[in-house]
Amino acid sequence: MSAFDSFTKWVDGEKPVPLNTAFKPTPAKKEKKKPAAIDDKKRLDGFLKLYAKCAVVISVFLLIVLLIGAVALPAFASPGNPTNNEVVHRYVGSAEHETGAENVIAGMILNYRGFDTFGESCVLFLAVCCVMLLLWATNDKLRAEAAGSGKAAPRDAILQNVTKLVLPCILCFGMCVLFNGHVSPGGGFSGGSILGAALILFAVAFGAEAVQRFFTERVFNTVRITGLMIYALMFGVYIYQGANHIDSNLARYIVLVIDIAVGLVVMSTMYGFYSFYTKGEL
Amino acid sequence: MLHTIIENRFAITAVILFVTGFVNMMVHPNLIKKVVSFNIMDSATFLMLASRGMIAGRTAAILTDGGADPSLYVNPIPAGLVLTGIVVSVSVSAFSLALIQRIYGVYGTVDMRELLEAMKKKGE
């Protein structure tokens, strides 16, 4: 009986599976007397050499293809580029009265592309969750080790005094960037990173215990979850109020609130990364 | 030819950076250096995107006193896309560095070849 016939019979359910594919142990070859470990090592070395050569060949190929593509691109900085199409005209032309934001980019990423930015905030949220999951010092021994490595550095008088001087300025600048994101360069992401940097500087200068007085794990979780929820809520309000046809003053407040929410998420994420990398907990 | 190269200098720089990162990522056995190369590739992509949005003689897309005339401002869309890209790049770097820190904690090395041997030893 041919293989095809048996297969069709098996499909029809007349016959059990023809088990001629079962693994048959091949007769053992005459084993060479070489130890297996050395053989393995040789094979690995050979593979790595081949791998390096292949990597270079693939990269050169990629370079050539991409260079041909780059040279064939339309001229740099010319207004007639296909990228400068009607979407740009629409965004720049109607961003101010549709989103209430003079900063077209802020209006664009928070209103027209609001779902995308929400996804971005979720990516940050998930990233800090993953870092937490991986680096959380699970037992007391690990925690003591991590704390020892963090606390070993002596507190520096110069650093502390400079921090006292500079920190208020950084905080003010961060707030300014955050709250004026819709009318000037800046916004939630940049403002949030500046505030996070201020927190990190404070933690470096005065020790993590100083930050822990007001930024505990509970506050950290509350801040980042509240940020995301405010974002979702305000974006829902924006959509249900008529999206692009919303009153421009209301839209301006919505942009501001969403910006602040994003800033909170980014700030807590930045400090969370620092804290988990240095001592394995908040 | 030279004219096209000068005209597309940002795209060509981006390509060179991208390939540099790509080669490093494939050839270097050190995991940290792989993450660094990954970030170089990211930067190349951002450079490419941002340079596509540039239009000569125009200002950033912040409507101050010029009014909403699209012929006065550069293309705002690549800026928004780069912002998204930066956030994702930061998140991925943080995640991979956390993974590498855990790997170092378990095996005591971040070199791919040593890691292979350490894993074998641990398996036995």
CA dihedral A198, A109, A77, B49 (to 10 degrees): 70
Question: Using a CB-CB distance cutoff of 8 angstroms, which residues of chain A are in contact with residue B101?
Answer: 134-135, 277
Per-residue pLDDT of chain A in tens (282 residues, 90 and over written 9) = 677 777 777 777 776 655 555 565 665 555 555 566 678 788 888 888 898 899 999 999 999 999 999 888 888 878 888 888 888 888 888 887 788 788 888 888 888 888 999 999 999 999 999 998 888 866 566 666 666 655 555 678 899 999 999 999 999 999 999 998 888 888 889 999 999 999 999 998 988 888 888 888 899 999 989 999 999 999 998 888 887 888 888 888 888 999 999 999 999 999 999 988 887 777
Residue contact B71–A79, C-beta within 8 A: yes
* Closest residue in chain B to residue A45, using alpha carbons only: B113
Which helix (H) or strand (E) is A223 found in, with range? helix A217-240
Question: Using a CB-CB distance cutoff of 8 angstroms, which residues of chain A are in contact with residue B11?
Answer: 70, 73, 76
Domain boundaries, chain A: 36-68, 86-279
Treating both helix axes as pointing N-terminal to C-terminal, what angle do A248-279 and A140-151 enclose, rounded to 10 degrees? 100
Q: What is the pLDDT of residues B87-108, one digit of tens each?
A: 999 999 999 999 998 888 888 8
Check the CA dihedral A251-A256-A257-A261 and report its sign.
positive
Alpha carbon distance B94, B87 (integer Å):
11
Treating both helix axes as pointing N-terminal to C-terminal, what angle do A36-71 and B9-27 enclose, rounded to 10 degrees? 170
- Nearest CA of chain A to the CA of B60: how many Å? 9
Record the pTM. Answer: 0.80
Centre a 10 Å sphere on the Cβ of residue A134 and count the other Cβ atoms it contains: 19
Inter-residue contact A86 to B23 (CB < 8 Å): no
Q: What is the pLDDT of residues B18-70, one digit of tens each?
A: 999 999 998 888 999 999 999 999 999 999 998 888 888 888 888 876 677 77
Which CATH code of 1.10.287.3510, 3.30.70.980, 1.20.140.10, 1.20.1440.230 fits the domain covering B2-55+68-123?
A: 1.10.287.3510
Identify the CA nearest to B44 among candidates B63, B72, B25, B68. Answer: B25
Q: Which of A73, A87, A104 comes nearest B11 by C-beta?
A: A73
Give the count of alpha carbons within 13 A of B35, CB side only.
17
Residue type, A230: I
